[in-house]
Amino acid sequence: MRKNILFLLLSCIATFCSYSCSKSDNGGDSRKIDFAIYRDATTPNFVRFEASEINPDALYDWIIQDDSKQKTNSPEFFCYFEKKGTYTVALHYLLNGKTQAITTQTVTISDDSYYFLQNEGLWWNDEFGNSGLNYQYWNFDQGTGVWGNNEWQTYTNKSENAFIRDGKLVLKAIKPGVGQKVGDYTSARVTTKGKKEISRGRVEVRAKLPGGVGIWPAIWLFGTKASPYYSELDIMEYVGCDKDIIYGAIHTTQSLEGAQKISASKTVKGVEENFHVYGMNWTGEKIEFYLDTPDNIYLHYQPEDKSSPRVWPFDKELYLILNIAVGGDWGGMRGVDDSIFPCEMEIDYVRVFRKK
């Protein structure tokens, strides 16, 4: 019996010593928490970092060259490097209040970003890297038959209609009803109203669009702060019955009265199969919509006289809206094909820049 007790005691001491010796000087675990670096060739100044170990009980501190750019409590970190150079990135992995591992890597940025060269800074962005929609940025519009245009969908806040998948926001239109009437379809409409409202600046949304007769996805801005004058910026609208044609429009009080229609269209082959950047540059002088790159402009609005808010109501904030409508006066002008459901709009990112 005494030998057994002595053996157990020695075993416990050995285990304790082994555990103690495996600890680093900072009280952490000697194992290394690596992180991967992901870069998109189309936007090389935007870099995503992802820890190799995901632990819901851990904290993740990301530090860029020991400055204030850091993010806590997420195994993924997104950073915009506006200037060329080589940067040191450190990941501090903490568990139970103690640093368990520190890993550093370097990332080299070859060129100053386009936006930096335009004297623009990143004001706000959402890369959809979390497990769910960030409610500090987004709201859900909800309801049936209150959106104008005689649309058929019911907008909900249900996870089946809006969710994050593989780092992208997915808006999904489905047909839970019999079909062919108002209320037989559900979809999602998310907005930044009251949270991230924009007055001038550059907006870029990278998205892949749903297709089919009767579907109507849109990326647009709206607001009532210019009331009683009307202000709406439709960066992208796609009616699935007009395959591979995107539309943009600027609506003011004057344009709605029919005095001056401000709209344009552009053919984009494979718009339903490929991601594209739908962009807008809004300054005090002009508004431009573009596709993929800022020089590929498909709508330009620059009235000579901006003194009347009937013509230029764009000195007030607007909020961003992302949605999929079903049917309606325009989207359903050739009916609704029930065989296309479910269908999805995928949003890779939203980025907003402002002059410094």
pLDDT digits (tens, 9 = 90+) for 271-284: 999 999 999 999 99
Confidence of residue 97 (pLDDT cuts 50, 70, 90): confident
- One of 76, 120, 204, 237 is an active-site residue; which one? 237
Active-site residue flag, 232: yes
Alpha-carbon distance of 5 to 292, in angstroms, equals 73
Annotation says 237 is catalytic: yes
Q: What is the pLDDT of residues 200-250, one digit of tens each?
A: 999 999 999 999 999 999 999 999 999 999 999 999 999 999 999 999 999
> How confident is the model at residue 198, as a pLDDT?
95
The pTM of this model reads: 0.89
Rounded distance, CA 82 to CA 109, Å?
9
134 or 4, higher pLDDT: 134
Query: Would you list the domain boundaries of the chain?
Result: 35-117, 139-355
* Exposed / middle / buried, residue 233 (Cβ in 10 Å: 0-12, 13-18, 19+): buried
Write the CATH number of the domain with boundaries 35-117.
2.60.40.10
- Taking the C-alpha atoms of residue 70 and residue 86, their distance in angstroms, rounded to an integer, is 17
Say yes or no to pLDDT of 17 above 80.
no
Confirm or reject CATH 2.60.120.200 for domain 139-355, answering yes or no: yes
Q: Which sign does the torsion angle of CA 122, 128, 130, 136 carry?
A: positive
Instruction: Name the catalytic one among 53, 82, 197, 232.
Output: 232
**Single-letter residue type at 200:** R
